């Protein structure tokens, strides 16, 4: 089997999948090749879909995740059977917890050989069931395209998330080829057992190809966003009108509908409430909106008398709801009924899309409340913290001060820059000091805190935001998960700037572990030559050991990236106590 082009006048299974993906607006898919999926990849490329192959299946799913977050169209990853599917599990779970809609297409052993010891044949549905919101095992060629259409709709509707379609290899090639393969595989004798075997195989093949018509791909199924109840919006508006110290927290779920992020931003601005942004909502109103806050969120929550959580659950990031004082009115807008009530019972619950809630709320809330003193207190604290950061960034050491590094990146990054964050301590420091330039220009793993997302997110971002300056903020521990993907960046012409914060350790863990247990076991790394690995893979590499080298190195990296070259800047960092006491449980 070496081709997917049909010789019988009707589309092969691989071609049907490619046509269905094209109908859904898919321009790129992410994959690691395998014999079980070759017809899909060949047909996708023939249909004008860009096929971006990587070095690990998790990278392919992370890339699909990023594509979904940036476009609102589910990203697509295609992986081979068995270990190809099992290698995606962490990335699938990350997407599920981040509520990111993606479609994973997995190959499978031939239908007639399943459960008979075929190559890479396992129960894949049992493996992925807990990581996806829907799955489908296709058993007829005629059902492939409809499964794709249904998968895209299910991935987006309600609480979005990943879905899985299993496509056995014998559904993907041309019908004449498959019939010939089964004929060759069958017995040729005249005994009853051999005749029964031939009859069984012929009947099996007939079922596989039953109902197959030339046709066209099914239409895109419209997905309607759930609008919060009008009564909930009115109650929320009334509670905010009474409040003296209101506060708004906006999370990733508010920007799931990527096509309408500007409308969400306009609603937040119109509400005239002090607000914090988190996750994918970072940068929603640019770098310096007058009511946006960046620091001292815990204290602000404890003082607020009315808190609005728009797409933000009361999980560990809000100390399971304990950051919000009990006497405060708690207004929660969330697509998920479970998340809306997680750890705290809201005063007002608005079930539905958080972005639509904010838009409706802005149309109801009268802007006549005087809260100048409250705003002044919050912004005074923010300004004070910024002064401390500037002071700490000026501290000189043997190597590079991480705060100074991020202040320099923030100064020189273009207005179209996208930041991809992958790491622990290094990335958490970046979150305090880097300011995303606009909506959907910050990508981090989300609530699962997964390391290793960086290369895949960068690949998905580049494919869907061509021409944007792309910065991968990489902890030295995190980069080890996918450093090999510089090979993929070179092959596919992805001109990113990867900045590795090299402090020779898993610092976020070491800081508390050493303090509590007096032992750094398992947390120590080497000052490895990550830049030379990038060079060996065909990219550019720059080593920075001292502060005076850093500005010029970053400027050179920008120049290289603008010329179309991927580049890794390996920056030796000084130890930092900036995030002392920040461990989460």
Greater model confidence, 283 or 199: 283
Tokens of 342: 């997680």
What DSSP character marks residue 25? Answer: T
Overall pTM surpassing 0.75 (yes/no): yes
**pLDDT higher than 70, residue 117:** yes
Chain segment 458-514, per-residue pLDDT in tens:
999 999 999 999 999 999 999 999 999 999 999 999 999 999 999 999 998 888 899
What DSSP character marks residue 120? Answer: T
The dihedral over CA atoms of 52, 56, 61, 63, expressed in degrees to the nearest 10, equals -50
Integer Cα distance of 251 and 269 in angstroms: 15
The answer to whether 31 and 77 are in contact (CB under 8 A) is yes
The answer to whether 270 and 328 are in contact (CB under 8 A) is no
The helices-and-strands tally (H runs, E runs) of the chain is 23, 17
φ/ψ of 460, rounded to 5, equals -65, -40
Length of the chain: 585
The pLDDT of residue 5 is: 46
Chain segment 172-219, per-residue pLDDT in tens:
998 888 888 877 776 677 777 777 877 878 888 888 888 866 657 888
- pLDDT-above-90 percentage for the chain: 81
Range 230-378 has CATH code 3.40.1190.20:
no
Q: What CATH class is the domain 13-208?
A: alpha beta
Integer Cα distance of 423 and 92 in angstroms: 18
Integer Cα distance of 372 and 79 in angstroms: 55
At residue 239, the 3 state secondary structure works out as: helix
Tell me the angle at which helices 402-412 and 372-393 cross, rounded to the nearest 10 degrees: 110
Give me the mean pLDDT over the 155-169 stretch: 96
Give me the mean pLDDT over the 421-449 stretch: 94
Greater model confidence, 552 or 364: 552
Secondary element (H or E) of residue 562? helix 550-562
Tokens of 437: 């330039």
Chain segment 79-91, per-residue pLDDT in tens:
999 999 999 999 9
The answer to whether 173 and 4 are in contact (CB under 8 A) is yes
Q: How many CB atoms lie within 10 A of CB 372?
A: 7
pLDDT bracket for residue 8 (50, 70, 90): low
Of 364, 327, 335, 326, nearest in space to 235 by CA = 364
The pLDDT of residue 2 is: 37
Mean pLDDT of the chain: 92
Integer Cα distance of 582 and 585 in angstroms: 10
φ/ψ of 35, rounded to 5, equals -60, -25
pLDDT bracket for residue 131 (50, 70, 90): very high
Chain segment 288-318, per-residue pLDDT in tens:
899 999 999 999 999 999 999 999 999 999 9
β partners of residue 108: 168
The pLDDT of residue 6 is: 52
The pLDDT of residue 183 is: 77
The pLDDT of residue 214 is: 65
Chain segment 220-276, per-residue pLDDT in tens:
888 889 999 999 999 999 999 999 999 999 999 999 999 999 999 999 999 999 999
pLDDT bracket for residue 115 (50, 70, 90): confident
Of 460, 468, 531, nearest in space to 492 by CA = 460
The pLDDT of residue 542 is: 98
Chain segment 402-427, per-residue pLDDT in tens:
999 999 999 999 999 999 999 999 99
Integer Cα distance of 96 and 113 in angstroms: 31
Chain segment 91-101, per-residue pLDDT in tens:
999 999 999 99
The pLDDT of residue 202 is: 83
CATH number for the region 394-572 comes to 3.40.50.970
Tokens of 194: 């051999």
Of 427, 388, 430, nearest in space to 406 by CA = 430
**pLDDT higher than 80, residue 580:** no
Give me the mean pLDDT over the 106-123 stretch: 83
The pLDDT of residue 113 is: 72
CB proximity list for 523: less than 8 A, separation 6 or greater: 505, 506, 507, 509, 510, 513, 514
φ/ψ of 249, rounded to 5, equals -115, 125
From the number of C-beta atoms within 10 Å of its C-beta (0-12, 13-18, 19+), residue 161 rates as: buried
Chain segment 24-50, per-residue pLDDT in tens:
999 999 999 999 999 999 999 999 999
Integer Cα distance of 217 and 516 in angstroms: 60
Among 17-21, 48-52, 258-262, 366-370, the range scoring the smallest mean pLDDT is 366-370
> Domain spans of the chain?
13-208, 230-378, 394-572
Domains 230-378 and 394-572 share a fold: yes
The dihedral over CA atoms of 184, 185, 191, 193, expressed in degrees to the nearest 10, equals -150
Residue whose structure tokens are 């572990």: 513
């Amino acid at each position: 089997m070496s081709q997917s082009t049909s010789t019988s006048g009707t589309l092969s299974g691989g071609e049907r999948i490619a046509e269905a993906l094209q109908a859904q607006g898919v321009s790129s898919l992410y994959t690691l090749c395998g014999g079980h999926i070759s017809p899909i990849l060949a047909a996708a490329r023939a249909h004008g879909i860009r096929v971006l192959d990587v070095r690990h299946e998790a990278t392919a799913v992370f890339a699909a995740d990023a594509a979904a977050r940036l476009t609102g169209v589910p990203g697509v990853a295609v992986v081979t059977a068995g270990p190809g599917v099992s290698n995606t599990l962490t990335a699938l779970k990350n997407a599920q917890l981040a509520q990111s809609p993606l479609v994973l297409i997995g190959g499978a052993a031939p239908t007639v050989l399943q459960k008979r010891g075929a190559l890479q044949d396992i129960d894949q549905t049992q493996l992925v069931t807990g990581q996806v919101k829907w799955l489908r095992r296709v058993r007829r060629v005629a059902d492939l395209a409809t499964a794709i259409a249904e998968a895209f709709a299910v991935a987006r509707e309600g609480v979005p998330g990943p879905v899985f379609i299993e496509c056995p290899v014998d559904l993907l090639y041309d019908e004449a080829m498959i019939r010939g393969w089964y004929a060759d595989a069958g017995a040729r004798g005249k005994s009853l057992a051999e005749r029964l075997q031939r009859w069984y195989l012929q009947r099996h093949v007939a079922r596989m190809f039953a109902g197959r018509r030339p046709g066209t791909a099914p239409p895109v199924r419209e997905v309607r966003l759930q609008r919060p109840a009008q009564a909930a919006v009115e109650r929320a508006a009334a509670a905010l009108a009474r409040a003296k110290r209101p506060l708004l927290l906006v999370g990733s779920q508010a920007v799931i509908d990527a096509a309408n992020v500007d409308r969400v931003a306009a609603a937040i601005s119109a509400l005239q409430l002090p607000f914090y942004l988190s996750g994918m909502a970072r940068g929603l109103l640019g770098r310096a909106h007058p009511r946006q806050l960046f620091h001292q969120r815990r204290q602000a929550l404890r003082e607020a008398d009315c808190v609005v959580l728009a797409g933000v659950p009361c999980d560990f990031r809000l100390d399971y709801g304990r950051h919000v004082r009990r006497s405060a009115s708690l207004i929660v807008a969330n697509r998920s009924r479970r998340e809306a009530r997680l750890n705290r019972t809201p005063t007002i619950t608005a079930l539905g899309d958080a972005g639509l809630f904010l838009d409706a709320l802005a149309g109801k809330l009268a802007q006549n409340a005087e809260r100048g003193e409250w705003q002044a207190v919050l912004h005074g604290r923010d300004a004070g913290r910024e002064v401390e950061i500037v002071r700490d960034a000026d501290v000189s050491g043997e190597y590079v001060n991480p705060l100074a590094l991020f202040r320099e990146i923030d100064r020189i990054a273009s207005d179209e820059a996208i930041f991809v964050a992958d790491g622990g301590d290094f990335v958490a420091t970046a979150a305090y000091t880097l300011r995303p330039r606009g909506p959907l220009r910050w990508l981090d793993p989300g609530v699962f805190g997964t390391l290793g997302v960086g290369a895949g997110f960068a690949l998905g971002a580049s494919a869907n935001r061509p021409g944007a300056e792309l910065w991968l903020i990489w902890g030295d521990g995190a980069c080890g998960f996918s450093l090999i993907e510089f090979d993929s960046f070179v092959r596919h012409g992805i001109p990113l700037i990867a900045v590795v914060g090299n402090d020779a350790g898993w610092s976020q863990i070491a800081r508390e572990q050493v303090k509590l247990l007096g032992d750094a076991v398992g947390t120590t790394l080497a000052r490895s030559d990550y830049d030379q690995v990038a060079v060996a893979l065909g990219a550019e590499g720059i080593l920075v050991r001292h502060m005076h080298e850093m500005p010029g190195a970053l400027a050179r990296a920008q120049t290289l990236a603008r010329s179309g070259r991927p580049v890794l800047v390996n920056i030796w960092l000084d130890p930092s106590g900036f995030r002392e006491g920040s461990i989460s449980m």
